[in-house]
Structure 1
Amino acid sequence: MTARGATGRTARLRDAAWLLPAAVVLIALNFRGPIVATAPVIGDVRADLGLTAGIAGLLTTIPVLCFALATPLASWVIAKADPERAVSLSLVVVLVGTVVRSLPSSAALLVGTAVIGIGITIGNVVIPVVIRRDTAPERVGLVTGVYTSALNVGSMITSLGTAPIAAVWGWPVAIAVWGVLAVLAGIGWTFTVGPRAAWRRPSVVEPVPETGPIDLVLDTDHERKATAPTPAPARRWITWGLTLAFGGQAFSYYALTAWIPTLLHDEIGFSKESSGASSSVFQILAVIGALGVPVLAARWRPRAIIALVAFFWLAMPLGLLFAPQLWLLWSVLGGAAQGGGITIVFTVIVRIVSSDADARRMSAFVQGGGYLIGSAGPLVAGTLHGATGDWTAPLLVVLVAVLVLGVVGSIAARRVD
């Protein structure tokens, strides 16, 4: 090989080290943002389409239900297509759902939301596979962290931008415009996979299991654990405890995500634009919790971390009940806690499983059950607000869900080192 050829190859490899993470960031911006896009303008949507509070809550509930129920479909799609095509398909589906959802019709709103949920589910499943396959072992954790952080950045951008756009062009344009992110991600992904054969780390692509997105992240350890017979997840008490704990976390997160802008508008008098901006604090602070829990896990036992997360989580519903004017403080504490909650639950799973197969089964059980519980959050909170006319009952329900996370999660993890 000539010196020029060696130099060119080195440059391609150096560029490739950042090409995949950059593409992953663009893709991740589409995998949480669409879920929260309607929250800042839900009042306008309800007024124009005559939606009840309960039906409005479905706009956040439906995608979360897809996370729980559409994973087998996502795994089947990925099995039929290679991961590259599955990523592209997920972005196309999200784009189509975004356009359909922007049509001024209640049916289109719900159908488009479901389509978005299916597209995100496919992406959630396949992105960790791509990261594990195409990233050097020592970089898997870093790239996965970048992906997780970008999910929250996507939520923040959407929360900040939707209401101001709606003030100028109306809510249909405000929720449709985020399809541009899917187009940009598609362009970035196409550029990334084009030269892939020349630089991708050689590996054997494993069959995609019938599991959820978090489960695939758990299997990134390149030193395989020795297999050993273990009881089915449903026969282990810790599984049920972790499922309830994750359900409490998901219920609280999605209930508040759906209704924080409306709550701040009602309780403090924020404009729609200000309410959307304030709710973005709750989203972006999750990065601190997600990155902070692994640091604490090196020194603290998991049950102590769960208790600490729940303690800070409680500040959100309690603070909004008794001192809503201090919303910024409660959003900071609650935002960091919600980012740490999901991280510590799956840290416990990693520590208790005995094999990769056990990890897949355990994570699928916890995630499926937890997201089913979480999907009820926006609907329950919206229905209670519609029935009572204020936010006391919804916040009390969130408070109970956080207590479930803290109490049940701590008990379930009491024997985990």
Structure 2
Amino acid sequence: MTVVWLPMAFVSSRSEPSSAKVQERAIGLGAALLVGLNLRPAITSVASLLEPTGAWFALNPVQLSMLATLPVIAFGVTAPLGPLLARRLGVVRTLAWAMGALAAALVLRAMVPGGLLVGTFLEGAAIMAAGTLLPPYLKSLGAGGLWIGLSSMSFSAGAALGAGFTVPLSHTAGGPPIALALWALPALLALAAMLRVALRSRAPVHSGERMQLTRATLPTVALITVMFGLQAMLFFAVAAWLPRLLGDRGVDAATAGWLLALASIAGLIPTLLAPMLARRRRALLWFGPGLGVVMLIAFVWLASGDTSYVAITLVLGAVQGATFGLSLSLIVSQSADEASAGMLSAVSQGVGYAFAGAGSLLVGVLHDATGDWTAGLLFMIVSAAVLSVVVALVIRRPPVDLRAGSRVRV
């Protein structure tokens, strides 16, 4: 008999007042939002300051491309880390450790001589661990479409903050190092919130439940992995290279940073609404594949040379935010239970982010090889078309139960 342990902050005895349970659940969900808020500023802050950071640290072109894409590469390399730690420490405690490690890595990359690339890789590992564990954490709280949407929206909010405020902070602080290191402060706030949840938890910290992939569940897992990888690659390609692309077209660094922030702001409401729309089957059938089509149109628009950058970034931000919210929602809804959500999250995000890192790096390599952005944008256009098809297939798959020895529901 399998016993699933949840934090006692959310599963309590009958004698505990209902209001106390509601309060503890609200604190746990609020902590999830703080974690989500910290999973993008480390990336968009560097993207908005990529050229000044390269000049400050005397990076060559290869190192500069690595700086832009290393966090996403770290996502793929360290994908198993979060689930492995969660088996020993529990999901809540692992999330707390991830936020502490993220804060330390942000300081390391900016303030310690020679620590830029090492700290950037470690920050990616910490972000990956936290991002992998958020879906099973939300499922353990019984989070519905609204809370999944709010959690997804916190990612976009963090991305907007990192993109929009880092350049002004750099000007105020006298250079990139302080501006980049300051993003450790919200990570420490998320650490405090998760410690608050962990201290109220009396759940055992070790789970011996085994997971397995079968021939019946593999197609769903593979499709969700491809879906997540494509949407992540397109997001990180924009986050890493849009400011540089705009700079090559004559846009100053501050304006390019704010345009990147605008893309993240535009994604806030769509990221919130997408998981709620995903609960409506009829809407999902056209809404899901339609996101890839709109993204394709946005990339064609960007490639056309039109200088309507505000409109282009608004469309890109909105559709990419909605696609991320949909992806997170499908990881949760296509899992039969919390444990399956954990494995599906680890596989799809681990392999997906490895592809995203390679694809995002390829966009930069294509630019360096050809001298312009045409080949990279063509690659992104084709990827958006494939994403539309894959989403259409995912939403027609049944939920999967990945626990060893369980029956697969078909």
Q: How many residues align?
A: 382
Q: How far has the Cα of 1:24 moved from its partner?
A: 2.8
Asked if structure 2 preserves the Cα contact closer than 8 Å seen for 1:36 and 1:60, the reply is no
Whole-Å separation in 2 of the counterparts to 1:413 and 1:127: 21
Change in 2 beyond 3 A, CA 1:50/1:329? same
Change in 2 beyond 3 A, CA 1:416/1:322? farther
Whole-Å separation in 2 of the counterparts to 1:365 and 1:399: 25
Whole-Å separation in 2 of the counterparts to 1:408 and 1:17: 35
**1:4 matched to which residue of 2?**
none
Residue 386 (structure 1) aligned to one of 363, 368, 371: 368
Q: How far has the Cα of 1:12 moved from its partner?
A: 5.3
Identity percentage of aligned residues: 27
**1:261 matched to which residue of 2?**
243
Alignment of structure 1 residues 320-335 onto 2, 5 Å = 320-335=302-317
**2:185 matched to which residue of 1?**
180
Change in 2 beyond 3 A, CA 1:38/1:83? same
Whole-Å separation in 2 of the counterparts to 1:209 and 1:37: 39
Asked if structure 1 preserves the Cα contact closer than 8 Å seen for 2:73 and 2:354, the reply is yes
Three-state SS of the structure 2 residue aligned to 1:51 is: coil
Whole-Å separation in 1 of the counterparts to 2:54 and 2:336: 49
Three-state SS of the structure 1 residue aligned to 2:282 is: coil
Give per-residue Cα distances to partners, 1:93-126, cap 9 Å, x unaligned. 1111101111475x52110011111212222234
Alignment of structure 1 residues 305-320 onto 2, 5 Å = 305-320=287-302
Quick check: 1:36 aligned with 2:44?
Answer: yes
**1:400 matched to which residue of 2?**
382
Whole-Å separation in 2 of the counterparts to 1:81 and 1:399: 42
Give per-residue Cα distances to partners, 1:145-200, cap 9 Å, x unaligned. 32221121111111111111112320111111111112222334444555x36xxx
How big is the alpha-carbon RMSD for the aligned residues of Structure 1 and Structure 2?
3.5
Change in 2 beyond 3 A, CA 1:89/1:412? closer
**2:266 matched to which residue of 1?**
285
Asked if structure 2 preserves the Cα contact closer than 8 Å seen for 1:250 and 1:370, the reply is yes
Q: How far has the Cα of 1:412 moved from its partner?
A: 5.9
**1:25 matched to which residue of 2?**
33
**2:170 matched to which residue of 1?**
166
Give per-residue Cα distances to partners, 1:320-361, cap 9 Å, x unaligned. 222442122222222121122234456566676677776666
Q: How far has the Cα of 1:296 moved from its partner?
A: 3.8
After TM superposition, the score normalised by the length of structure 2 is 0.80
Q: How far has the Cα of 1:40 moved from its partner?
A: 0.8
**1:218 matched to which residue of 2?**
none
Whole-Å separation in 1 of the counterparts to 2:197 and 2:394: 42
Note the residue ranges of structure 1 that are not aligned, 5 or more in a row: 1-7, 212-228
Whole-Å separation in 2 of the counterparts to 1:185 and 1:349: 23
Asked if structure 1 preserves the Cα contact closer than 8 Å seen for 2:233 and 2:357, the reply is yes
Amino acid in the other structure paired with 1:312: V
**1:216 matched to which residue of 2?**
none
After TM superposition, the score normalised by the length of structure 1 is 0.78
Change in 2 beyond 3 A, CA 1:24/1:113? same
Amino acid in the other structure paired with 1:27: V
**1:231 matched to which residue of 2?**
215
Quick check: 1:120 aligned with 2:127?
Answer: yes
Whole-Å separation in 2 of the counterparts to 1:363 and 1:82: 16
Out of 18-27 and 398-407, give the one that drifted further: 18-27
Whole-Å separation in 2 of the counterparts to 1:252 and 1:312: 13
**2:257 matched to which residue of 1?**
276
Three-state SS of the structure 2 residue aligned to 1:38 is: helix
Q: How far has the Cα of 1:259 moved from its partner?
A: 1.1
Amino acid in the other structure paired with 2:79: T
Three-state SS of the structure 2 residue aligned to 1:71 is: coil
Change in 2 beyond 3 A, CA 1:28/1:411? closer
Quick check: 1:207 aligned with 2:212?
Answer: no
